[in-house]
Amino acid sequence: MTRFDVIVIGGGHAGTEAAAAAARMGARTLLLTLKPEALGEMSCNPAIGGIGKGHLVREVDALDGIMGRAADLAGIQFRVLNRRKGAAVRGPRAQCDRALYRKAVQGLLAQVAGLSVEQGEAVDIEIRNGRIQAVLTADRRRLACGAVVVTTGTFLRGLIHIGPLKVEAGRFGEAPSVALAERFRELQLPLGRLKTGTPPRLDGESIDYRELDIQLGDEAPEMFSVDSRGPVNRQIACHITHTTCDTHSVIRANLEQAPVFSGEIEGRGPRYCPSIEDKVVRFPDRGAHQIFLEPEGLDTNSVYPNG
């Protein structure tokens, strides 16, 4: 039976970086994920970086991480935000093709020596005399290891709210991890719940782009990774539109449908990523809010309304 030095539970952004880092350091590493084919999935908006976050991606790249390289391989628009301000507050950002990003992450992971990827749901962590012995899976496998890194993201007892509808899910279309959450509770490990939100996508064929402001990428794109020399994909434009007073009236008339305002969700969302209904409530005197229309890929009509 193979014994791993490190098992990483969860294959999101953090999990892929943790697994690759452990393997690069010489540890025999297993990345255990519910859906190996979903490694590199961009669950929210199809972009990497931005204000503050772009610095983090550059730091990950300096440590030989994979996110910066994957973003460069999948980027379809590159911009530096706050370019007119000082270097400390500039934010490199890449609009990415979802499918290309997923392909890039999986390809980069496949190149890491000493890293294995397996499908499975972790339901228990075997501990003896205060030391981790193994990870137990839902299909009754015992995966021996010396250390575990937990990067389960939104999957531990995850909930999704779609208006008044509430369903148990790790992310849309995928089941949550309930058994592992209960095991952590038995181990008296603190559990919390973070809130994030993502909007419905738009059909690009239904948008009249002639009425919108165009937003192009930088003429001289800056890459995330020191190993990248320039964009490898066709570059595209994003567009900018705005809400109107009529939009705000519709939102106010339906606030009881929003779980944050109906009382179904008690937590507050990310400070710098408020929902449109939150903006309308917090800034009642503002007649319009800016919305960025971001293509989700080169071969899809799906558009992400950011803002």
pLDDT value at residue 268: 67
Hey, what are 23's tokens? 């393997």
The pTM for the full model equals: 0.94
pLDDT value at residue 261: 82
Q: Is 131 helix (H, G, I), strand (E, B) or coil?
A: strand
* Single-letter residue type at 199: P
Strands 4-9 vs 142-150: parallel, antiparallel or unpaired: parallel
Q: Which of 258, 32, 209, 229 is nearest to 135 (CA)?
A: 32
If you search the block for the tokens 């790790």, which residue do you land on? 170
Calculate the dihedral angle through the C-alpha atoms of 279, 283, 287, 290, rounding to the nearest 10 degrees: -40
Domain ranges for the chain, please list them. 4-153, 202-306
Q: State the CB neighbour count (10 A cutoff) for residue 136.
A: 20
The pLDDT tens digits of the residues spanning 212-261 come to 999 999 999 999 999 999 999 999 999 999 999 999 999 999 999 888 88
- Contacts for 275 with CB less than 8 Å, ≥ 6 apart: 197, 199, 258, 260, 269
Q: In what order do the strands lie in the sheet with 91-96?
A: 47-49, 91-96, 75-81
Q: At what angle do helices 98-110 and 67-74 cross, to 10 degrees?
A: 140
CB of 121 within 8 A of CB of 70? no
Q: Which of 76, 133, 78, 140 is nearest to 297 (CA)?
A: 76
Q: Which of 31, 264, 303, 33 is nearest to 170 (CA)?
A: 33
- Contacts for 46 with CB less than 8 Å, ≥ 6 apart: 95, 96, 97, 98, 101, 294, 295, 296, 297, 304
- Contacts for 273 with CB less than 8 Å, ≥ 6 apart: 196, 197
Domain 202-306 sits in CATH 2.40.30.260:
yes
- DSSP for 248-272, please give it: HHHHHHTGGGSHHHHTS--S---TT
Low-confidence ranges of the chain (pLDDT < 50): none
Q: Which of 149, 147, 161 is nearest to 193 (CA)?
A: 161
Q: Which of 230, 228, 201, 223 is nearest to 293 (CA)?
A: 201
Hey, what are 36's tokens? 């190996």
Calculate the dihedral angle through the C-alpha atoms of 175, 180, 184, 186, rounding to the nearest 10 degrees: 110
pLDDT value at residue 269: 67
DSSP 73: H
pLDDT value at residue 163: 86
Report, at the CATH architecture level, how domain 4-153 is classified: 3-Layer(bba) Sandwich (3.50)
Q: Is 293 helix (H, G, I), strand (E, B) or coil?
A: strand
The pLDDT tens digits of the residues spanning 99-137 come to 999 999 999 999 999 999 999 999 999 999 999 999 999
